[in-house]
Every structure is written in structure tokens, then in C-alpha cells.
Amino acid sequence: MPTKDNSRDELTMESFRKALTNSKRTLVLCGAGLSAASGLPTFRGAGGLWRNHVATELVTPDAFEADPSLVWQFYHARRHAALRAKPNAAHIALAEYTKAHPDKTFTISQNVDGLSTRAGHLRDKLNLIHGNLFDLRCSGLGCGYVDKDNFDEVLTEGLKGAEDVNAVYKDIRIRDLPMCPKCKTNLLRPGVVWFGEGLPMDVIDKVDKAFLGPPRVDLMLVVGTSGVVWPAAGFAERVRRLGGKVAIFNMEVDQAEPGDWVFEGPCEETIPEALQLTGPPD
């Protein structure tokens, strides 16, 4: 059974920092807890509802096919919230650390909110394994249309107002939802990975190369995630099998193994402290 070490005394912090300094290749895995302090919901546990809908039931191809109006209203609200959110101290500390150590740091983010990029994280060191809220692509097979970094607040007049927390569901006509400008017959969809879909192979290939080296990953930081969703769940175990060490930063930690560093608490506090970096003043 996994053990949990809640110690955050100086000895624990010093041993982690020493390993970080000596690491030849550091892998950082970021999850929804990283953005919690920026005001974005994790849609996990008690907060997993969006306007009385189970959020995880809206992030599937079947949900989009059955009710694209509902799914688009959900994503419109998420885009709106993400555009208004600001990167927190943890985003900034990770971005600054990567800038200071670009040759040895490799980041995988499960987040789709764009906050790591806005914090200044080097794009070529940031791998978005679940896609990006601000990328759009055609939902039709064979079209191939992609619109990257679309930060428009309102994609169609039909979606206007759906961002209001007090808004009620409205049955938006298909023609009033985002349509593909290329094929002009299919809806656009968010450029994110939904449950049941494959992960981007270019990102998976980069991850494999990081593990194979040289140099191989010898230290992994798990930030704001339980790491229980595959394939992220396998990353930490892979690091351990290669003889590397794992440090977990999350509000609650229940997936630690003997030998892991565990830092329970808000990521915006634990990450800057561990990396000895603080974000700019508000």
C-alpha cells in the first residue's frame, strides 16, 4: 500500500533541492491543481459539476455528437474563464525555472487553459498532452482544418452570454455554432483530447525520447495532479523503474511510493518554495 510522507521540514526540502540541482534531465507533469489558484475549477470530486451537468460527461465525442450546443456552451464558458484568469506563482516559477535550465527541463501539461504559455513557459519545452482550449479544428473526417491560438472572446453570436455563471441552457441552432470555414459543412470543435480519443503522437514521441535519453529522465515533478489518468499514471512509475526520483506537489497526495518527496499544499506556495523562485508582485 502506498505510503505518504507529509514532512516539509528543511531536511526534506534540502534533499529535494539537491536532487534538482544534480538532475541531468527533469520531467515536470502538470495537472489541473496547478491552475486552481488562478480560479479555474478542476472538475474533479465535489466541484465536478458544471451547471448541474457532470463535467466529465461533456468531454466525449459522443456528447458532442448528441448535443453540440451544450458542449459548445460548456467550452465557451471555459474559454471565457481561462481568458480572464491570470497565471499564478506556480506557473511563473515553473516557467522561470525552465528558462534557466532549458536543456534539462521537459514539461508535460494535462491542462488546456493556456496559463503556462502566458506565464512565459518556453513553448518548445511545453508539451500539451490534452490539447488547448484556444485551438479549434474541424470535427469532420478528412477536412483537416485547424485554427491555432484563437483567443476570440465570442466565436459566434449564438454563444454570446453562455459564459454568464447564471446563464441557463439554450438550444442553439447548429448554424449558429462555430462552423468550419474550409469545408463549410461540419462544426468546429475545441482542439482538446476528449475521453476515448488518442493522445497526440508527436507529444508521445517526445516523451519517449526524453525517457530514452541521453540523458535519461532522473527526476520527475508531479504538480497539481494525482497522476491516476493514463498515460500520466505510468510516467512516475517509469521514472522509478529507471532509478529516478519523484516529487509530488498537490493539495492531497495518496499515490506516493516509498522514497518519493511529498509536498502537500497549494502549488502556488509549494512550487516557488521548492524551486526557490517567486513570481513577480501583483
How many Cβ atoms are within 10 Å of 209's Cβ, its own excluded? 10
State the DSSP code for 246: E
Residue 267 in marked binding region: no
Asked if 130 is an active-site residue, the reply is yes
Distance of CA 59 to the CA centre of its chain: 15
Residue 138 in marked binding region: yes
Torsion angle in degrees (nearest 10) through CA of 253, 257, 263, 264: 20
Residue 180 in marked binding region: yes
Nearest to 190 by CA among 201, 176, 171, 177: 177
Q: Angle between the 267-275 and 10-22 helix axes, to the nearest 10 degrees?
A: 60
Q: Per the structure block, which three cell numbers stand in for 180?
A: 468550419
Q: Name the one residue in this structure whose C-alpha cell is 536532487.
A: 19
Active-site amino acid positions: 130
Binding-site entries = 138, 143, 180, 183
Question: From the annotation, which residues make up the binding site for Zn(2+)?
Answer: 138, 143, 180, 183
